[in-house]
């Protein structure tokens, strides 16, 4: 794969989208991908073949992204982001005053989520839904679910309380769930 | 203690990040027995985690021929 130019272009393309979602900065994303690629080439003999090449290169990329996040002054940037983003309106709008689901927003059963993950078009919807989250919310969610941080580490890194962290993760999951349902699972019958 | 759907979604989310207390787990189960919307929500939280981890692991194929997803050759 590393010697096939077409495969390599495809791989690089997916890595770049992933890095841009994480960092929301085209230049930083480009640098992280570049470094990950260089490191993959330099260590090609370490690739055991147990993982697929793509998952191996992605694990290198995730480490690079964590490095970038650690290098930047996250806490300061984050508090600015949070101030700009944070309201509970997006979640509140789904519920009635008594805390029950609004009729229009109660979750429906999803047909075959495993099948979705094998559908190439699904991942475009997934990326768009992630990108649609407010930046601070997406940042916390991705640190937790993609980069493997524990919530305590996230609180530390971003200088937020654990309650804050739970509120943000809740908001992220509710938002993503709703977006995936609306843009993928609700139309699954027609595909 | 009766939980509202909104509180239930919060607990379903927190269950992915910390251990719920016995009391929280019982209230959650009680609510889920009676509420299909929240039952779907709880199940989907687990799917969401699986899907997200799969994405982060690079364990997915994308359709490169979809025009909207192909950036200019210069930038890619």
B10/A62 Cβ within 8 A = no
- Which pLDDT tens digit goes with each residue over A71-102? 877 667 777 777 766 677 789 999 999 999 99
Which DSSP category does A51 fall into? S
Is pLDDT at B3 greater than 50 in this prediction? yes
**Sign for the pseudo-dihedral over CA of A70, A24, A54, A57:** negative
Q: Residue B1 — pLDDT band, cuts 50, 70, 90? A: low
Crossing angle for the helix pair A162-183 and B36-56, nearest 10 degrees?
A: 100
Is pLDDT at B67 greater than 50 in this prediction? no
Q: Which residues of chain B lie closer than 8 angstroms to A13, CB-CB?
A: 62, 64, 70-71, 76
pLDDT at A46: 78
Q: What span, in angstroms and rounded, lies between the C-alpha atoms of A177 and A128?
A: 13
The answer to whether A142 touches B76, Cβ cutoff 8 Å, is no
Q: Residue A5 — pLDDT band, cuts 50, 70, 90? A: confident
- ipTM metric: 0.89
Interface check A146 vs B, CB under 8 A: yes
pLDDT at A13: 93
> What rounded mean pLDDT belongs to chain B?
85
Closest CA to B48 of A67, A133, A190: A133
CA of A80 vs chain B CAs: smallest distance (Å): 25
For residue B41, the Cα-to-chain-centroid distance in whole angstroms is 8
* Count, residues in chain B: 76
C-alpha radius of gyration, chain A, whole number = 19
CA of B46 vs chain A CAs: smallest distance (Å): 10
Q: Nearest 5°: phi and psi at A158? A: -100, 0
Q: What span, in angstroms and rounded, lies between the C-alpha atoms of B24 and B18?
A: 12
Closest CA to A137 of A19, A26, A24, A60: A24
- Which pLDDT tens digit goes with each residue over A33-60? 999 999 998 988 877 776 688 999 999 9
The residue of chain B with its CA nearest to that of A148 is B53
């Amino acid at each position: 794969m590393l010697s096939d130019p077409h495969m390599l272009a495809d791989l690089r393309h997916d890595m770049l989208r992933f890095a841009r979602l994480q960092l929301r900065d085209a230049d930083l994303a480009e640098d992280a991908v570049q470094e990950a690629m260089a490191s993959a080439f330099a260590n090609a003999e370490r690739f055991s073949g147990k993982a697929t090449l793509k998952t191996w290169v992605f694990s290198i990329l995730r480490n690079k992204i964590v490095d970038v996040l650690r290098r930047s002054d996250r806490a300061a940037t984050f508090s600015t982001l949070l101030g700009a983003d944070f309201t509970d309106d997006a979640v509140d709008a789904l519920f009635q005053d008594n805390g029950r689901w609004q009729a229009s927003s109660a979750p429906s059963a999803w047909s075959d989520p495993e099948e979705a993950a094998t559908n190439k078009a699904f991942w475009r919807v997934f990326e768009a839904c992630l990108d649609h989250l407010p930046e601070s919310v997406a940042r916390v969610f991705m640190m937790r679910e993609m980069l493997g941080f524990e919530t305590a580490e996230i609180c530390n890194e971003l200088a937020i309380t654990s309650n804050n962290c739970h509120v943000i993760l809740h908001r992220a999951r509710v938002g993503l769930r709703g977006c995936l349902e609306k843009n993928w699972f609700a139309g699954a019958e027609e595909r | 203690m009766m939980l509202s759907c909104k509180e239930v979604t919060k607990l379903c989310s927190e269950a992915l990040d910390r251990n719920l207390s016995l009391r929280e787990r019982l209230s959650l189960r009680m609510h889920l027995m009676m509420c299909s919307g929240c039952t779907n929500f709880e199940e989907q939280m687990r799917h969401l985690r699986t899907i997200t981890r799969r994405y982060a692991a690079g364990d997915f194929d994308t359709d490169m021929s979809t025009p909207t997803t192909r950036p200019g050759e210069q930038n890619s």
